[in-house]
Amino acid sequence: MNLRDLEYVVAVAKHGNFSQAAAVCNVSQPALSNQIKKLEQELGADLFLRLSGEVRLTDCGQRVAEIAERVLDDAQRIKDTATQFRDPEAIPFKIGMTPTLAPYLTQYFADLFKALFPSMKVIMIEDLPHNMLQMVEDHKLDTALVAKSNHKGDLDFTSIWSEPLYLAMREEHPLSTLSSITPEDVPTHDFIRLPYSFGYELEARLPSPDSSSRIGKRFDLSALRFETVCRHVCHSDDCTIVSALAAEQFKKDLWPMSFVPFEGPGNLRNLGAASRPNCPRKPLLEKIGRYIQNTPPKGVTPTFGSEEAS
């Protein structure tokens, strides 16, 4: 019996499926199944009931899975303890960002890490918030930058900045002359939004996707990538939402777009770093937070260490 065997047991118990567990453990399904069978033979008891289309824990398996999870947690704590006594720059730092953040922060964070930790390798991963938060829990990321509204309560959240939301449209669009706008005034038939949240409370008041409201469009668009939507907006009468970070980058790159700020409430998102409780890399997060506090990206208001951020 070894820790890898216990990882397999916990993964199958969690997913109820050998194939999914194998994918999570980055191993072939036959290899995982055979290793669990060997463990069952070693223990002299079945851990799983192999039924048609599903896998269930036996009573013994339930107890073993609970113990295995505690053992794996303790093993990770041993690794974390050792990490505290190593050179922090000797270990790669893995940070996750959403598709609405990563394109506009790669250069900023490259400069940040070069200034703070010049010898450290940094790995930036782009994914959706719920995927990244799971990766933080699974020790695959040190931290993930997410809006507080997307944050999971079992992880720590350190506020870094607040950021306003804009309605984006092409230059000379009829709405471009407005000084501000409310969600209720956004034209339903000309509004395109992505199928995931940006982390702003007022998004709940924006028009919902409705194909019937856009039936008269000669050219319609359904997209998963934020930049695809924004490029479409540049040459159409459609509009979409963008964060301040994105708006500032589009201005810098001379995209033919206009940006109208949303009125409150709910027009600001609290963006921060999600990390595991007692994560040994918290001192690095502190340094990162203070750097951002003193040298924030354009368009945001630093909140690190601010009482208002809580």
Give the number of other Cβ atoms within 10 Å of residue 282's Cβ: 17
Q: For each successive 10 residues of the chain (310 residues), what is the average pLDDT?
A: 92 91 91 94 93 88 92 82 71 90 93 94 93 90 92 88 97 95 93 88 87 66 82 93 95 96 94 89 90 95 74
How many angstroms separate the CA atoms of 5 and 35, rounded? 7
Provide the pLDDT for residue 310: 47
Q: Which CATH class is domain 88-161+269-309?
A: alpha beta
Provide the pLDDT for residue 241: 96
Structure tokens at 141: 């990321």
Q: What is the pLDDT of residues 168-188, one digit of tens each?
A: 999 999 999 999 999 999 998
Domain 3-84 sits in CATH at: 1.10.10.10
Beta bridge partners of 48: 57
Provide the pLDDT for residue 259: 98
How many angstroms separate the CA atoms of 290 and 279, rounded? 18
Q: Do domains 88-161+269-309 and 162-261 have the same CATH topology?
A: yes
CA geometry: angle 41, 46, 51, nearest 5 deg: 125
Could you state, in order of their start, the residue ranges of all structural domains in the chain?
3-84, 88-161+269-309, 162-261
Structure tokens at 210: 């409705």
Burial of 231 (0-12, 13-18, 19+ CB in 10 A): middle
Provide the pLDDT for residue 218: 67
Provide the pLDDT for residue 151: 83
How many angstroms separate the CA atoms of 62 and 9, rounded? 10
Beta bridge partners of 260: 167
C-alpha of 49 from chain center: 35
How many angstroms separate the CA atoms of 222 and 192, rounded? 8
Is the peptide bond between 174 and the residue preceding it cis, with omega within 30 degrees of 0?
Answer: no
Provide the pLDDT for residue 308: 47
CATH classification for the domain delimited by 162-261, as one of 3.30.56.10, 2.130.10.10, 1.10.357.10, 3.40.190.10: 3.40.190.10
pTM over 0.75: no
Query: What is the amino acid identity at position 201?
Result: E
Beta bridge partners of 123: 94
Q: DSSP string covering 216-282, please? A: T-SS----S-HHHHHHHHHTSS-BEEEEHHHHHHHHHTT-SEEEEEBPSSS-EEEEEEEE-TT-TTH
Region class of 106: left (phi > 0), else alpha (psi between -120 and 50), else beta: alpha
